[in-house]
Amino acid sequence: MNDCNPGPRLCTMAWAKRAADEQGRGQTMAHAVDESKAEHWPALDGLRGTAVLAVLFEHVYQNWDPVVWLRPAHLGVELFFVLSGFLITRVLLNNRPEAVEGGSFRRVLGVFYLRRAIRIFPIYYLTLAVMIALSPWVNGLQGHHLWRLGYLTNFHMALHNTQDTYYGHLWTLAVEEQFYLIWPFVILCLPRRWLLPALLQVIALAPLWRGLASCMGLNELWIRKPFWASVDCLGAGALMALYRWQPEAFRLPSRWTMRMILIMCGLLLIAGLQGRWVEDGQYLTIPFLNREATGQSLVASLTLGTIETPFLVLLVMICISKDESWFKALMCWRPLRQLGKVSYGFYLYHAFCMSFVALGFRILNIPYLSGWGLHAFFVVVFLCSTAAAFLSWRWIEAPFNQMKKRFRYVG
């Protein structure tokens, strides 16, 4: 009878063989690791604080030429993606033995989603609820709420080729949520030997998409906003986590090769930045490199993001290394770490604070688009965003975070 129905037996044998293969290849973790007890690097909080400051700085000083050229908000967002890729993949890899060897895949997956929801959903949906309640009296808050409720702001922006004044920054949170939905299946389901090739292919997907979309004449939002357009940064962070978990899978290049790679990345980065100036019409254009239909340089589409990523990965590596450095000491500066601790709320609230502070400045007839008024505007927005973030952490996020203790990866 059993020979006539081999399906369950074959599945069990395949799962057991895969678990044995995990052990035979030198599994670095013998059991699952509870996220609450995992290693913590204070300098990473400082990096988060730096990232949100970069985002706010560009959003306030967006018409200043150095800001137009350097795009600090883009760097800040990409740094957030690298950090997310690293930390989320690290949690999944640490609990992969429990999912594969212990047969607790559903438990690990369920706990992962529950802990992410507890951390992210409360203030996100509370903020949307407040904005929807205010929408009858504030222009710009109306409409398209289903896209935001479903974490699809990035696709709404790409499909409609529009940047929302109040909600535009939510596209990055949509990308993160889409990453959380897909990534556990990649890390927990693929065989161990396939993880490195899979991550390398994921990283290559983003520049390939941006180059293809640019050549197809798609608008800039289609080039930049879909989830797969940011997987180079997310994948690079994941690659760093995989290296710490499975170093034997990597063959590190020589120092000479590394120097050449960094030099090439630097040259491509300069070319991409030059592409931004070309888009503004400040230099002569090269027909193949400039796409007038999209306002997006092909060089910029291919390089920016991917070429910046190694430098962002280097910053993260410095912060998690055991060696001391001036940069790590700076990232451990307490005010910066405290800001990083509430960076999620700061990022979520800052655009709304900007809009309402601007309204207040207009009511008081205070100029805020240039000169001292612009600097005062930055200070007030920073203070309001910081206050909102700390209050949010104290009264909403921290209490909800306590609930995560009820859902542990280790039973």
* Residues 175/82, Cβ–Cβ less than 8 Å: no
Q: Which two tokens stand for residue 389?
A: 């973030």
Q: Show contacts of 391-395: CB within 8 Å, 24+ apart.
A: 392/123, 392/342, 392/345, 392/349, 393/341, 393/342, 393/345
Residue bearing the bigger pLDDT, 388 or 38: 388
CA distances from residue 286 to 33, 143, 283, 297, 307 in whole angstroms, order as listed: 53, 41, 10, 10, 21
SS3 annotation, the chain: CHHHCCHHHHHHHHHHHHHHHHHHCCCCCCCCCCHHHCCCCHHHHHHHHHHHHHHHHHHHCCCCHHHHHHCHHHHHHHHHHHHHHHHHHHHHHHHHHHHHCCCCHHHHHHHHHHHHHHHHHHHHHHHHHHHHHHCCCCCCCCCCHHHHHCCCHHHHHHHHCCCCCCCCCHHHHHHHHHHHHHHHHHHHHCCHHHHHHHHHHHHHHHHHHHHHHHHCCCCHHHHHCCHHHHHHHHHHHHHHHHHHHCHHHCCCCCHHHHHHHHHHHHHHHHHHHHHHHHHCCCCCCCHHHEECCCCEEHHHHHHCCCCCHHHHHHHHHHHHCCCCCHHHHHHCCHHHHHHHHCHHHHHHHHHHHHHHHHHHHHHCCCCCCCHHHHHHHHHHHHHHHHHHHHHHHHHHHHHHHHHHHHCCCCC
Taking a C-beta distance cutoff of 8 angstroms, is the pair 289, 299 a contact?
A: yes
Tell which wins on pLDDT, 120 or 211: 120
Query: Whole-angstrom Cα distance, residue 396 to residue 392?
Result: 5
Residue 50 neighbours by CB under 8 Å, 6+ apart: 76, 79, 331, 336, 340
Strands 296-297 and 290-291: antiparallel
Is the pLDDT assigned to residue 292 strictly greater than 50? no
Q: Which residue has the higher pLDDT, 217 or 290?
A: 217
Q: How far apart are CA 221 and CA 225, in angstroms?
A: 5
pLDDT at 257: 59
Predicted confidence at residue 308, as pLDDT, reads: 81
pLDDT attached to residue 25 = 43
pLDDT in tens, 50-102: 999 999 999 999 888 778 777 899 899 999 999 999 999 999 999 998 888 77
Residue 169 and residue 353 in contact, taking contact as beta carbons nearer than 8 Å: no
pLDDT for res 211: 80
| 204's tokens | 């290559």
Return the closest-CA partner of residue 359 out of 144, 59, 139, 168. Answer: 139
Partner residues linked to 290 by β-bridges: 297
Mean pLDDT of the chain: 81
The residues, ordered by sequence, that sit 6+ positions from 84 with a Cβ below 8 Å of its Cβ are: 176, 179, 234, 237
What pLDDT score was predicted for residue 216? 83
Residue whose tokens read 């895949």: 105
Query: What is the model's pLDDT at position 351?
Result: 92
Share of the chain above pLDDT 70, in %: 76
- What's the pLDDT score for residue 271? 52
Q: How confident is the model at residue 285 (pLDDT cuts 50, 70, 90)?
A: very low
Range ranked top by mean pLDDT from 102-106, 151-155, 163-167: 151-155
Q: What is the pTM of this model?
A: 0.83
Instruction: Express each pLDDT in 329-372 by its tens digit.
Output: 999 999 999 999 999 999 999 999 998 999 999 999 988 888 89
